[in-house]
Structure 1
């Protein structure tokens, strides 16, 4: 297949390109060229900028069997890309998010038919309030334009090497230190992450099978709690941990993998599993992230507590115990 990837050198896109190449497909990259310039030597690279609407590099008569849109966040991005490509593509696969779903009245095991939030088209300022609704609008536009040639992959929290978010890396690193690990949440809270390579395998499989519709990319295959995830990360590092539930006065916003809405961490992956979503063991993901993090020199993380802050939180918890 000839596949065009809109944004394919950072994290999710990188994994998708790697899987596509492993499967023997021809891949063309479109992006600003600011990240991953040394990756995938020899692949055709088309330079443009979605923020400024520069799609001139997509002009011409080149045809692709499929497009994977990794970097579409607002309706303008998607509309301009579709306009530039016209009828020169087969399937349009859009990477979306679970942020599209309504938060009220959702039960554990919810599937892809769960009601979504109202679409938003009048802003390009992305926040917790607008990110999901903008993705809804993008989904709607892709489906309206391409019909049965549209595929939507709604990814949950993605983890793996090269993850820029720190959300899973935080727990991998904290658990690898061993000893007491501070957790500002119930260890029994369910949590869902999907290995970036599993997400990539699903995406390419959907293209190969020419399959329309919406699919949840969530994992791991076996349900896991946040406490179990931390313990799995510790075992992957050969460490032992004691999880200490803490209730400090101040907790950083969006603390890694901590969520009050537990139903959002129990979505069904049945449709995606049936379509080919693999189930990489959580221990494998943790070990690979640990190795990658150490190889890059374990730079300071932006999410969660620093080691010094965590020690202070644990000391305060011990004093009030």
Structure 2
């Protein structure tokens, strides 16, 4: 199979490219050549820039499928479709769970849940615009390619090479042991999907030619945030005590923490994707691999979550209360 990946050297795209090459696919990567440029010598590399609309390198060639992991604005997706036209067999767009209406949904909603209103003219990616921009991208891909379009909506993706650092924070913190400040209820549901499971689903969908939308979420069994932290500690062989603290004591965008009104967004129905071939790597395996990767790179500073000093102050305040 000839696969064109728009992106392909960062986190999710990296996992997809690696899986495709292992499976014997002929892979072409289209990107700026700035992120991990030495990766994947077995793939063909084409240089371009979606931010400036430079798709010159894609004006020739044919592919059985394109995997779009770097389309965030409708203009980017529209430009890619315009230059590729019918020289690709299937267009698989990697979207997000943020396309769904926020709040008010029942747990374990499927792919038919109501979407947010599409947005086409925003210049900045923010919490308010991201999901709506992706809705517009989905609609444009489906309108252009019909049954030759596939939409994958990942939940929170975790695994080695994750620069977003959601699970990485908790793996590293649990490995340190001791009392852990949790600015949320331990019973908050959490769905993380291993990046390698997401990649396997993408390749299965391409191989089988499946149209439609699919939830790439996991693990197979429901998990809570407290359970996730405990699993991270077990993997690291550390002893911990989880101490719930007021949410307002935490910095913004705390890793994996969600307000209670949005818990249903961490309880999506994975049945359609499971039937299509989405694996279910145990959370302990994902956590162990993230721990090994993080230690191997020297555990650089993280830009979110509590610093040790912040956490000590929050725990002291909790004791005083």
TM-score band w.r.t. shorter chain? over 0.9
SS in structure 1 at match of 2:249: coil
How big is the shift at 1:104? 3.4
Q: Is the 8 A contact 2:95 2:138 kept in 1?
A: yes
How big is the shift at 1:145? 0.2
Q: 1:82 to 1:245 in 2, by over 3 A?
A: same
Using the alignment, how far apart are the partners of 1:104 and 1:284 within structure 2? 31
Q: Is the 8 A contact 2:188 2:224 kept in 1?
A: yes
Q: What's the CA shift string for 1:167-208, capped at 9, x where partnerless?
A: 110000010001111100000000110000000000000000
TM-score of the superposed pair, with normalisation by structure 2 = 0.98
Using the alignment, how far apart are the partners of 2:263 and 2:122 within structure 1? 29
Using the alignment, how far apart are the partners of 2:88 and 2:197 within structure 1? 25
Q: Is the 8 A contact 2:249 2:314 kept in 1?
A: no
Count of matched residue pairs: 319
How big is the shift at 1:249? 4.6
Q: What's the CA shift string for 1:28-65, capped at 9, x where partnerless?
A: 000000011111113210000000000000012x1100
The unaligned stretches of length 5 or more in structure 2 are: none
SS in structure 1 at match of 2:29: strand
Q: Is the 8 A contact 2:120 2:133 kept in 1?
A: yes
Q: Does 1:318 align with 2:292?
A: no
- State the match for 1:42 in structure 2: 42
- State the match for 2:300 in structure 1: 299
Q: Is the 8 A contact 2:200 2:277 kept in 1?
A: yes
How big is the shift at 1:307? 1.8
Q: Is the 8 A contact 1:215 1:272 kept in 2?
A: yes
Using the alignment, how far apart are the partners of 1:187 and 1:250 within structure 2? 16
SS in structure 1 at match of 2:166: coil
Q: Is the 8 A contact 2:180 2:242 kept in 1?
A: yes
Using the alignment, how far apart are the partners of 1:108 and 1:10 within structure 2? 31
- State the match for 1:157 in structure 2: 156
Q: Is the 8 A contact 2:184 2:247 kept in 1?
A: no
Using the alignment, how far apart are the partners of 1:166 and 1:63 within structure 2? 36
Cα RMSD for the two superposed structures: 0.9
How big is the shift at 1:20? 0.5
- State the match for 2:30 in structure 1: 30
TM-score of the superposed pair, with normalisation by structure 1 = 0.98
Using the alignment, how far apart are the partners of 1:254 and 1:248 within structure 2? 11
Q: How do residues 205-244 of structure 1 correspond to structure 2 at under 5 angstroms?
A: 205-244=204-243
Q: How do residues 59-70 of structure 1 correspond to structure 2 at under 5 angstroms?
A: 59-60=59-60, 62-70=61-69
More helix by share: 2
Using the alignment, how far apart are the partners of 2:313 and 2:127 within structure 1? 29
- State the match for 2:52 in structure 1: 52
Moved more, 106-115 or 124-133: 124-133
Q: Is the 8 A contact 2:108 2:268 kept in 1?
A: yes
Q: Is the 8 A contact 1:248 1:313 kept in 2?
A: no
Q: 1:33 to 1:315 in 2, by over 3 A?
A: same
Using the alignment, how far apart are the partners of 1:238 and 1:13 within structure 2? 31
Q: Does 1:133 align with 2:132?
A: yes
Q: Is the 8 A contact 2:183 2:249 kept in 1?
A: no
SS in structure 1 at match of 2:86: coil
Q: Does 1:245 align with 2:244?
A: yes
Q: How do residues 65-76 of structure 1 correspond to structure 2 at under 5 angstroms?
A: 65-76=64-75
How big is the shift at 1:248? 6.3
- State the match for 1:268 in structure 2: 269
Q: How do residues 46-195 of structure 1 correspond to structure 2 at under 5 angstroms?
A: 46-60=46-60, 62-195=61-194
Q: Is the 8 A contact 2:90 2:148 kept in 1?
A: yes
How big is the shift at 1:247? 1.5
How big is the shift at 1:105? 2.4
SS in structure 2 at match of 1:153: strand
Q: Is the 8 A contact 2:183 2:248 kept in 1?
A: no
Using the alignment, how far apart are the partners of 1:107 and 1:274 within structure 2? 22
